[in-house]
A and B are shown apart, each in its own frame.
Chain A
Amino acid sequence: MSPARTIRPVSVASFAQARNVRRDDEHNEVEMLMPVVAEVFGNISITKDDVDFICSGSTDYLIGGPFSFVMALDAVGVWPPRSESHVEMDGAWALYEAWTLLQEGEIDAALVYAFGRSSLGDLNEILALQLDPYYEAPLWPDPTSLAALQAQALIDAGKATEADFAAIASRSRKSALENPNAQVAIDIAPEVLLEDPYVVTPLRRHALPPITDAVAAVVLAAGDKAIEWAGRRGRKPVWITGMDHRMETHSLGARDLTVSPSTAKAAEMAGVGGGPVDVAEIHAPFASQEVIVAEALGLGGDTTINPSGGPLAANGVMSAGLIRIGEAAEAIATGRARRAVAHATSGPCLQQNLVCVLEGEA
């Protein structure tokens, strides 16, 4: 299936991320972002003056400070004043906003960044507050319990087993050994992982994502800039050939949690099925959710899933989705893939999903 619309080719011109850690006690958000912004520009020898638009993704709920996204702009230095925007979502959606603006053709380059410090508050409480405020949030259901309901539904439907979850976790963290920025990287066989105790049945500890402080940045470029900037480091551009995002109802009880129709629709609109997928970077924070997303994306056995280790190796809330796009682009730029899919999720039990298709040049 091909994308439903003609799009302007936009490239992921540069990607940078900080080393994902359990907790960065030393730096504030600006100090965490500055080296990453410097790297994402430095990779392609540009400065802040070469981008026409800046968009960031973060949430004040993570650090408990109002307007933290405005303060974070100090890391870029927005003088003279420039066009800037922010989404209270993962940076993948900030990238979507920048990509949309690039589609209009008035600008040729944008900086996208995301910062998420998951360690400063209690994620179980913070993420409960994204739920329906009348019927769900007052019960304070934590994300692991909700994911466990989803995983149990998956098992009950005969679509997966606990051994599948262990296999996904084992593979992810083994792959992460190749990723210097990963937080949890270790080679443990699935059979050993299955000896873990349950955190919330049927999810054992290995099926849960780590808590991560993470920042990441991407430069998007179109037209001549895309080609020139890629050439500066001897690369060819990595093009976004399709991107779409969809969401499902807020009410968990109204959803079939064993499927992800929003991912499937986004995949269709982004044109995932238009060619073979060499690499898929999937943002499924819980191992059980990878089963659902991989099915919704329509991936076959030829696709390498999460060679970076994925969110089971590092899951900075608000950053992990943008990192999926960056990692997928890097896989193409370094010749490990010709065509890749990146996926980002937000909300409880995969409520909102974004799918991005990337292709290199032959």
Chain B
Amino acid sequence: MTETAHEPVTTLATPIRLDFDFTPGVAQSRFLKGLAKATFMGQRCSVCGKVYVPSRGSCPTDGVPTTDDVELPNTGVVTTYCVVNVPFAGQSIEIPYICAQILLDGANISFMGLLQEIPTDQIRMGMRVEAVWVDEAELTPSLSSVRYFRPTGEPDAEYDTYKEYL
């Protein structure tokens, strides 16, 4: 048998791609359908009274189903934020931009949102903000229905009112 000289194999590329369906569930479907109507739908825990938005159908503290639907207002507070200065693959927004944790009024959990209409060096914790929705014809059951959040111009919220949500 003759031996042919080969370079040793040092790397092996094995491309992998898996596709999945996603089932949001009953509670999250309600939240998504709310977005298609330009509203934030949350749920309240019947034990501790906390309001989750979006709700995944349970209170993570008490482990009970959340069945009490709550429509939340368009407005909230920036609890904390990050100014994004670093470009990355797939970036769709011009840098620098502000990624903020937003606590809607009446909610007990914050979620991440894009903040616009303010210079990045003027963002601060406690800033009052409101959602800007896409045009009615573009509303879909997805977070892309929220174009971004922007300052309302109201006085900042007191730290004590949101310190539990940092």
Which chain A residues have a beta carbon within 8 Å of chain B's beta carbons?
24-31, 34, 37, 48, 61, 63-65, 71, 73-79, 117, 119-122, 125-126, 129, 133-134, 137-138
A26 to B61, CA, bound (A): 23
CB pair A76 B63 closer than 8 Å? yes
Q: What is the predominant secondary structure among interface residues of chain B facing chain A?
A: loop
CB pair A125 B18 closer than 8 Å? yes
With A119-B21, A120-B21, A120-B23 known, 13 other A-B pairs at CB within 8 A are: A28-B26, A29-B25, A30-B25, A30-B56, A30-B58, A48-B63, A61-B18, A71-B56, A73-B60, A77-B58, A79-B60, A122-B18, A134-B12
Number of A-B contacts (CB under 8 A): 88
CB pair A63 B20 closer than 8 Å? yes
Across the interface, A27 reaches (CB within 8 A) one of B19, B20, B26, namely B26
Tell me if B158 is interfacial: C-beta within 8 Å of chain A: no
A119 to B19, CA, bound (A): 11
Tell me if B105 is interfacial: C-beta within 8 Å of chain A: no
CB pair A79 B18 closer than 8 Å? no
CB neighbours of B28 from chain A (8 A): 28
Across the interface, A121 reaches (CB within 8 A) one of B18, B26, B65, namely B18
CB pair B63 A75 closer than 8 Å? yes
CB neighbours of A27 from chain B (8 A): 23, 25-26, 57
CB neighbours of A120 from chain B (8 A): 20-23
CB pair B16 A28 closer than 8 Å? no
CB pair B56 A74 closer than 8 Å? yes
Residue of A nearest to B65 (CB): A34
CB pair B14 A26 closer than 8 Å? no
CB neighbours of A37 from chain B (8 A): 63
Tell me if B24 is interfacial: C-beta within 8 Å of chain A: yes
CB neighbours of B21 from chain A (8 A): 119-121
